[in-house]
Chains A and B, each alone.
Chain A
Amino acid sequence: MTQLLNRLVMFVVLLLVQVLVLNHVWLLNVATPLLYVYFAITFPRNTAKGEVLVWCFFLGLFIDIFSNTPGLAAGTLTLIGMGQTYLLELFVPRDSVENLETSAATLGWGKFSMLSGILALAYCLVFFILEAFNFFDWQLWLLRAVCSAALTLVLMLAIESVRSK
């Protein structure tokens, strides 16, 4: 029950932070932090895959509704949610508990950064290619995706370091 409540609070906070603040950030004309990926990354280990997908889809959809891009974030975040459930298995220590929390404190900083780095980069690559929808300028696309992913990762690690205290 508390877990559900936690998720719900996180959902609303990430949604509002993204649409009211971060969507307007555009560092050096290339990087926009897409912090809501953090939502998909932090699902605990034993969460049912279907549950992860539904959560991710709806967070994406709400973000889409606010930023006038229906289907874009919803589709991409669902994909990343799916990826998280499989990728996480590669990162958890062998003798860990079933319902392991996904955080820097339980996985260790190195593994957590690696996991979130991969997922954030994958998210940004898919997101920006769907947004442009053709390779009109693949260098700009790559630059935007990599810079945005880096910025997102920095923000996520910042939040982790606060939460792990």
Chain B
Amino acid sequence: MRNLLDFLKDYYHWLLFVFLEVVSGFLLFQYNSYQGSVWFSSANHVTGQIYDWTSSATKFFTLSEVNEQLTRRNLLLEQQVEMLGRRYVALTHDSTAQERSEMQFLNQYELIPAKVVDNSLNSKENLITIDKGSADGVAVDMGVACGSGVVGVVYLVSSHYSVVIPVLNATSSRISCAIRNRGSFGYLHWNGGDPSVAYVEDVPRHAKFKLGEWVVTSGFSSIFPAGVSVGKIEQAYNSRDGLSYKLMIRLSTDFTNLRDVVVISDKSIAERAALLQAARDSISSK
């Protein structure tokens, strides 16, 4: 007994060491399936609050640049709307129909403005923290976009903060997107490294596109509405198995300077998800 106690006294730090390493290992491996708890992430209240303070302090330094970007984007969109509106009226000779369809579109989606309080770029699995949570109507699996394009998908939600998986998360981010005006679609995937370059994979061989064309969200996943900008095609490669194209995309969202984002809440998501589940159940029961 005495020997045992002596032994413990001399070597207790090894036991402690193993214990702490096991705890760390447990946290490390459990995190991905740890959806329920926001305690060990930056969505918890204390860390969220600290990030909030610092981001409100640093915000001022980047504000003018962000403003300029938004103004430019706004101008472009205004011109586009103007042009499309004229075309639409010319084709249908009905100027109220357009207004009606616009209202319908806006009714379907609710936009929740939010501020980015923490953003990382230098890991393979980046995450973003925003300052809106379940109390503001944010729920898991909602899409997040900013003025210049798509940002990511909500992953964890606490009452006042949420963690978003951005496009720049090599293991978890797969956003369905399509080539604008062409319809061929694929999956957006980031490989790590440069935060302004990502890849669209699984684009079918018969797809037609030109370098410099825009890639937008496809609207298939019900996370994003169709037509949110993703980026411009910079290069096209054959996929490894030769069955599809892999497109290199210059992302339109500047992840290095991300402040104001909107969470896109689609009221029809629940309905669509229920329908999809019902379809799956009926297939599997056969």
- A residues with CB within 8 A of B: 20, 23-24, 26, 29, 32, 48-50, 53-54, 57, 60-61, 64-72, 74-76, 78-79, 82, 85, 130-132, 137, 140
Contact = CB atoms under 8 A, between A and B. Distances in A.
Contact of A72 (B23, B28, B44): B28
Interface of B: 12-13, 16-17, 20-21, 23-31, 34, 40-42, 44, 47, 50-51, 54, 118, 120-124, 127, 129, 163, 192-194
Contact of B24 (A49, A67, A71, A82): A71
Contacts of A70: 27-28, 30-31, 34, 40-41
Contact of B194 (A29, A57, A74, A79): A29
A15 to B, nearest CB: 10
Contacts of B42: 65-68
B25 A54 contact: no
Nearest to A75: B24
A53 B16 CA distance: 8
B13 A50 contact: yes
Given A48-B13, A76-B24, 10 more contacts: A20-B50, A20-B54, A29-B194, A66-B42, A68-B120, A68-B163, A70-B27, A70-B40, A78-B17, A82-B13
Contacts of A137: 192
Nearest 6 CB-CB pairs, A to B?
A75-B24, A71-B27, A71-B28, A49-B13, A70-B27, A70-B40
B16 to A, nearest CB: 5
Nearest to A52: B13
A54 B16 CA distance: 8
A75 B28 contact: yes
A107 to B, nearest CB: 23
B161 to A, nearest CB: 12
B120 A78 contact: no
Contacts of B41: 65, 68, 70
B28 A130 contact: yes
B117 to A, nearest CB: 11
A32 B50 CA distance: 21
A130 B47 CA distance: 24
B25 to A, nearest CB: 6
B40 A23 contact: no
Nearest to B44: A65
A65 B40 contact: yes
Given A29-B193, A65-B42, A66-B42, A53 B20 contact: yes
Contacts of B24: 57, 60-61, 71-72, 74-76, 78
A64 B127 CA distance: 13
A96 B176 CA distance: 65
Given A29-B193, A53-B20, A82-B17, A74 B27 contact: yes
A131 B124 contact: yes
A72 B122 CA distance: 15
Contacts of B127: 68
A79 B44 CA distance: 27
B121 to A, nearest CB: 6
Contacts of A53: 13, 16-17, 20
Given A64-B27, A65-B44, A70-B31, A79 B123 contact: no
